[in-house]
Structure 1
Amino acid sequence: MSVLLFWLLALLLFLMAGELGRRCGLIPIVSQLLLASLGLPLLMLFWVEPHWHLDGAALIAPGWLQTLYGASFALLLGHILGDVVALRLDRESLKIAVPSFLVPFFAGLGCGLWLLADQPWLSTLALGLVFAITAIPVLYLYLRHIDYPPDATRRLMQSAILIDVTCWLLFGLGQGSLNPLSLLLPLLIAGLPALFYWLRVRKPGVYSLVFLAVLFIAEHYQLNALLCGIGYLACMAWLKLPLRMPLSSVWLQRLQNGVAIPLILTFGIVQIDLQHVLAGFDAVQLGALLLLPIASKLLGNWLGLSWATPSFAGASKWRESLLLNIRGLSEIVFLNLLLQQQLISPALYFALMLMSLVATLLPAVAGLHRIPSNTVQPARRPYAEH
């Protein structure tokens, strides 16, 4: 009963934080990251552990919670991968994306060789990808909320999609390279749309529901969820079948913000031994984990935006560099994936979560976060219309 009460309390706190953030003009993910990085650790340290006598292992042990976590993970990863397949490559987006990926990626590899010398090479690769990743859904929200010009929005979104599809593919292939035979099952699963098409199944909703089920099963049985998901969507794209989530965009956003994101954030945070969380890092190492990803990403963004032609007259490279540095949802899912597979330590997870919070708050601090009072969720994303 205490475990259930904790999770209900956590969801309520996220709901309250989101409402408070909305009144302050913050988009939901900023409020959620603030609560997860600052509020939940204090709740665990000063109340849950000493008074309820519950640690992280007990809080994530129930089978129903594992099922709910898997469903939330599938929903969020499916949403991100659905954005990834919206890629429409053009030269200017490519000019932005190449330095924006390569500079932080190599900085992350160097940091991994320094901090993770005794870890598998896949952990070092993953750290490089964490440095490089951009949060597609959160970037889109920022751009929409500041009424960014449609053509400039589309170009930044396509750059972010190109960066993220590179990150997801490299990590998926890196996982598969450890056990080449493990690539076979995800590739077979990825071909399910072709089987359904051959069986004359034509309803897009069936393909989309199976897609989410595939991600859930892959996460539950420790299969390569990334290759399953990307391969499945690539097969759907080859068959010219659209991805349609089973819920409307309004209800999907409510479910993500009200349940899925809070649960995934809390699931990761409660596994951290808060009393010894940063014992493995000295001040220099912690500073590097907080500042190097942001600095290298901003440098890469600046170089890419300098290489490409301005998106519109008066476009600010500084503003666009900050926007492309946003982390948020994509990084949360990626970090939880790494933590669950024990590729990063809880201490490293927490440090990178703090970095993600700072990076996502930077546009807000720079005044790019205000939400118009009459904002309405659009039915379609502007970058997916072409």
Structure 2
Amino acid sequence: MSIALLWALALVLFWIVSELGRRLGLIPIVSQLLLATLGLPLLMLFWVEPHLQLSGAALVAPAWLKTLYGLSFALLLGHILADVVELNVDRQSLKIALPSFLVPFACGLACGALLLPEQPWLTTLALGLVFAITAIPVLYLYLRNIDYPPAATRRLMQSAILIDLTCWLLFGLGKGSLEPVSLLLPLLGACLPLPLYALGVRRPWVYSLGFFGLLFVAEHYRLNALIFGIGYLCCLAWLKLPLRMPLSDLWIKRLQNGIAIPLILTFGIIQIDVHNVLLGFDAIQLSALLLLPIVSKLLGNWLGLCWATPSFAGASKWRESLLLNIRGLSEIVFLNLLLQQQLISPALYFALMLMSLVATLMPALAGLHRIPLKTAQPARRPYAEP
């Protein structure tokens, strides 16, 4: 069986579990995380490696696959960064976001420095950011589908955006500080809208295609895609130009759920040595990686929600703490970025994927997962409205 057929089979498996999950009321990312974290390692262990004699390294080797991975990564990262820059901070959102970021971030730094083997400072920084990050798209789906009050939804979403913007910026600046010269090309690319605007170009699709095209180039050549993406979108915001997705919302959703997310998940998981995946950690380290991100994030969320005024009468701090602990898509993209740049080991990647799965499942286990059919074509980021 060719490598291309194996990848096609993986996409079919993701489609099947997504459909099964939908019938059970689960949002796609939950079903996809379950398959990636539990199903794919077993598939590699009991079929692909012993019977087909193919390793993870062989499966990710083809050049066409790396190109497809780069396109998928650019689509997902661009979608997340477009969410992140739509920031309209109010005082209550800031009160929630500060403890929600600082408590897990400090816990992640301590975990990296004290509990794990000696590692580069950038890896320790990245671990702190992984502890703190919140999945913006998945959080919005949960809030929308439990009919959360619009004002409360907007406040939680703005808090999550502020947290994630801080995470992406800190990592981009931290990575750029290792090679300051490497920031030059991404920053020059980020300023591209300025000369185009000066030349009289006003069509949003030109700027949008330039954004996704250059984001793909930056990822492909291992440039600082984060600094480029945030800088480019900030230029668009300053020029009051909208970012248009290259396709309609419905087709973007289909590409994300049908190809981009399954491909990125599979690309990361199959590179893990399933025979020795967790041998690099003892019981204390593994327990810390699974529990501390969730516990510290819940504590930070709780402190922030206690500091801020209630979003509406009868608002549950426990429910909102649980929702702000969702990881999902944002963490998947972040972990794959760290793995591809060899800042974390495959074992650490897998342990954090397990943590992300548990954190994303927690609202579902609490009964906040029912997704009605009306969400087939969700509106694009209405939470940014004032």
Q: Normalising by structure 2, what TM-score?
A: 0.99
* Runs of 4+ displaced beyond 4 Å: none
Question: CA offsets, 1:341-386, max 9 Å, x none?
Answer: 0000000000000000000000000000011244342333221222
Residue matched to 2:47: 47
| Mapped partners of 1:329, 1:128: distance in 2 | 18
| Mapped partners of 1:360, 1:380: distance in 2 | 22
TM alignment of 1:1-386, pairs within 5 A: 2-386=2-386
| Mapped partners of 2:256, 2:206: distance in 1 | 21
Letter in 2 for 1:223: L
Q: Give the secondary structure class of the aligned counterpart of 2:371.
A: coil
Letter in 2 for 1:347: A
Q: Give the secondary structure class of the aligned counterpart of 2:230.
A: helix
| Mapped partners of 2:153, 2:369: distance in 1 | 15
| Mapped partners of 1:116, 1:290: distance in 2 | 13
Q: CA offset at residue 200 of structure 1?
A: 1.4
Does the Cα contact within 8 Å between 2:116 and 2:285 map onto a contact in 1? no
Does the Cα contact within 8 Å between 1:2 and 1:52 map onto a contact in 2? no
Taking a change above 3 Å as real, the CA distance of residues 191 and 347 of structure 1, as seen in their structure-2 partners, is same
Q: CA offset at residue 12 of structure 1?
A: 0.2
Does the Cα contact within 8 Å between 1:45 and 1:274 map onto a contact in 2? yes
| Mapped partners of 1:132, 1:110: distance in 2 | 13
| Mapped partners of 1:86, 1:375: distance in 2 | 22
Question: CA offsets, 1:9-64, max 9 Å, x none?
Answer: 10000000000000000000000000000000100000000011110110000010
Q: Give the secondary structure class of the aligned counterpart of 1:226.
A: helix
| Mapped partners of 1:174, 1:191: distance in 2 | 21
Q: CA offset at residue 107 of structure 1?
A: 0.1
Q: Give the secondary structure class of the aligned counterpart of 1:276.
A: coil
Structure 1 range deviating more: 372-381 or 243-252: 372-381
| Mapped partners of 1:239, 1:287: distance in 2 | 48
Q: CA offset at residue 306 of structure 1?
A: 0.3
Does the Cα contact within 8 Å between 1:150 and 1:382 map onto a contact in 2? no
Does the Cα contact within 8 Å between 1:236 and 1:242 map onto a contact in 2? yes
- Structure 1 unaligned runs (5+)? none
Question: CA offsets, 1:197-251, max 9 Å, x none?
Answer: 1221111011111101111001100000000100000111111110110111111
Q: CA offset at residue 114 of structure 1?
A: 2.1
Does the Cα contact within 8 Å between 1:190 and 1:232 map onto a contact in 2? yes
| Mapped partners of 1:113, 1:215: distance in 2 | 32
| Mapped partners of 2:52, 2:34: distance in 1 | 24
Q: Give the secondary structure class of the aligned counterpart of 2:275.
A: helix
Q: Normalising by structure 1, what TM-score?
A: 0.99
Letter in 1 for 2:180: P
| Mapped partners of 2:117, 2:284: distance in 1 | 17
Letter in 1 for 2:333: V
| Mapped partners of 2:375, 2:95: distance in 1 | 32
- Structure 2 unaligned runs (5+)? none
| Mapped partners of 1:373, 1:29: distance in 2 | 16
Structure 1 range deviating more: 114-123 or 4-13: 114-123
| Mapped partners of 1:375, 1:261: distance in 2 | 19
Percent identical among aligned pairs is: 80
Does the Cα contact within 8 Å between 1:327 and 1:356 map onto a contact in 2? yes
Question: CA offsets, 1:153-202, max 9 Å, x none?
Answer: 00000000000000000000000111111111111111001121122111
Structure 1 range deviating more: 8-17 or 117-126: 117-126
Q: Give the secondary structure class of the aligned counterpart of 2:338.
A: helix
| Mapped partners of 1:47, 1:206: distance in 2 | 46
Letter in 1 for 2:257: N
| Mapped partners of 1:380, 1:312: distance in 2 | 24
Q: Give the secondary structure class of the aligned counterpart of 1:375.
A: helix
Letter in 2 for 1:65: L
Letter in 2 for 1:217: V
Letter in 1 for 2:342: Q
Structure 1 range deviating more: 195-204 or 98-107: 195-204
Does the Cα contact within 8 Å between 2:83 and 2:381 map onto a contact in 1? no
